[in-house]
Chains A and B, each alone.
Chain A
Amino acid sequence: MNSPLDPQTGPQFSAQPQALHQRAQDNLHFIRTSMERATSFTGVSGKSYCVAGVTVLIATAVAQQQSGPAAWLTVWMIELALAASIILWMTMRKAQAQGGSLWSSNGRKLLAAFTPAMVVGGVLTVSCALQEAYDWLPGIWLSLYGAAIMTAGAYSVAIIPVMGAVLLLCGSVVLLLNIDAALLFGLIMGSVHILFGLLIWRSHGG
């Protein structure tokens, strides 16, 4: 994460001597920047990632037992709704417990950054389902979910973009090597959520 104290990435201040009122304006700008950086960045619930990871692993086992690809897809759509609800609910609770809100300035930015890649993922899922190209879905889901997490992570703790990068890398490998990743997808998604959930939980609370 960029530091507000870093002269390269923080608010820019002129090296030239400044008038008092300009320095006062810089100071107020610095306070505002520091406050914006600190709001709701810890709202992401590590515990919710762990719980969601466990549900992903359960869904992996259930999806593997399905006879057709349409049923396999249905299992994952239900799992998506379940995991998203768990993460959203627990994150809202954590933000409230911290005296903040998910709908704060940074919370809204985080959601806005997360949404576009997820919308593209939804469109591609429908397109693949219509063309019965189910084999592409695990790679697409991993890549686009990873991209969504990476961009949203810019407004959250530093470890979140790392999680996104790991998922994006896995998705890229699956897509480029054309691996049959129906099982691998669930294992990667579940284990990455549990691992990073524990790291967030440990460093920034549940």
Chain B
Amino acid sequence: MAAKPKPVKSAPQTETPALSALTSTSGERGDFDRLIHERSRLAIVSALAVNKSLSFNDLKSVLAISDGNLSSHARKLEDAGYILCEKRFENRVPNTCYSLTPAGKKALKHYISHMESLIAAVKHS
């Protein structure tokens, strides 16, 4: 015999003040960094955060993405000043190396604390 479905309570539509402050400022996402929120770019920044520098091939191995995708996302991060791109030659072979800039470290740290605050705000609400 099928059990009678229980009525489901809908979630409250109003946000707590803490949540609201984190997610909305003037109709936008406040200080939420959309640039590193994108998965590929977040992975690049995270990988560089635990390495002094990584070559293009190393990053490609870690992320398992195409050359074109990596170049495009790395360019956006470089333009924002989050990563540094150094092109050099090793035994006459061109080698592109990426490293995280202080601005990139700050952005990642800020993003992590933003996520942690969001979790904490929901727990306390």
Interface set, chain A 13-60, CB cutoff 8 A to B: 19-21, 24-25, 27-28, 30-31, 34-35, 37-39, 41-42
Query: B43 contacts the other chain (Cβ, under 8 Å)?
Result: yes
CA A24 to CA B37, docked complex, whole Å = 11
B91-122 contact mask (Cβ, 8 Å, vs A): 1 or 0: 00100000000000000100010011011011
Give Cα distance in the complex from A98 to B39, angstroms: 25
**Chain A: interface size category:** 20 to 34
Q: For the complex, give the distance between the alpha carbons of A4 and B85 in Å.
A: 23
- Are B52 and A35 interface neighbours, CB within 8 A? no
Q: Distance in Å from the Cβ of A104 to the closest Cβ of chain B?
A: 9
Q: B40 contacts which chain A residues (CB < 8 A)?
A: 5
The complex places the Cα of A6 from the Cα of B62 at a distance, in Å, of 11
Q: Distance in Å from the Cβ of A23 to the closest Cβ of chain B?
A: 8
Please tell me the number of chain B residues within 8 Å of chain A, measured between CB atoms: 35
Check B55 against A204 for contact (C-beta < 8 Å).
yes
Q: Complex formed: what's the CA distance from A5 to B39 in Å?
A: 7
**Total cross-chain contacts (CB, 8 A):** 95
- Nearest CB in chain B: distance from A28 CB, A: 5
Minimum C-beta distance from B40 to chain A (A) = 6
CB within 8 Å for A19 and B122 given contacts A5-B40, A34-B42, A39-B51: yes
What residues of A have a CB within 8 angstroms of the CB of B46 in the complex?
30-31, 34-35, 38
Tell me the B residues contacting A by CB distance below 8 Å: 19, 23, 37, 39-40, 42-43, 46-55, 57-58, 61-65, 90, 93, 108, 112, 115-116, 118-119, 121-123
Residues of A within 8 A of B (CB): 1-6, 19-21, 24-25, 27-28, 30-31, 34-35, 37-39, 41-42, 98-100, 157-158, 202-205
Say whether, besides A5-B65, A41-B62, A204 and B57 are in contact (CB < 8 Å). yes
A157 x B65 contact (CB < 8 A): no
Contact A205 B61 (CB under 8 A): no
Q: Which residues of A are found within 8 Å of B43, using beta-carbon distances?
A: 4-5, 30, 34
Contacts of B121 in A (CB 8 A): 21
- Which residue from B57, B61, B112 sits with its C-beta under 8 Å from A1? B61
Write the nearest CB–CB distance from B83 to chain A, whole angstroms: 14
Residues in B with CB closer than 8 Å to A27 are 37, 42, 115
B117 CB, min distance to chain A CBs, angstroms: 9
Question: Which of B19, B46, B62, B90 is packed against the most chain A CB atoms within 10 Å?
Answer: B62
Q: In the bound complex, do residue A3 and residue B42 qualify as a contact, i.e. CB atoms below 8 Å apart?
A: no
Determine the distance from Cα of A19 to Cα of B16 in the docked complex, in whole angstroms. 14
CA distance A3 to B33 in the complex (A): 23
9 smallest CB-CB distances across A and B, nearest first, come from A3-B64, A38-B47, A99-B52, A21-B122, A34-B46, A24-B115, A24-B118, A34-B43, A35-B50
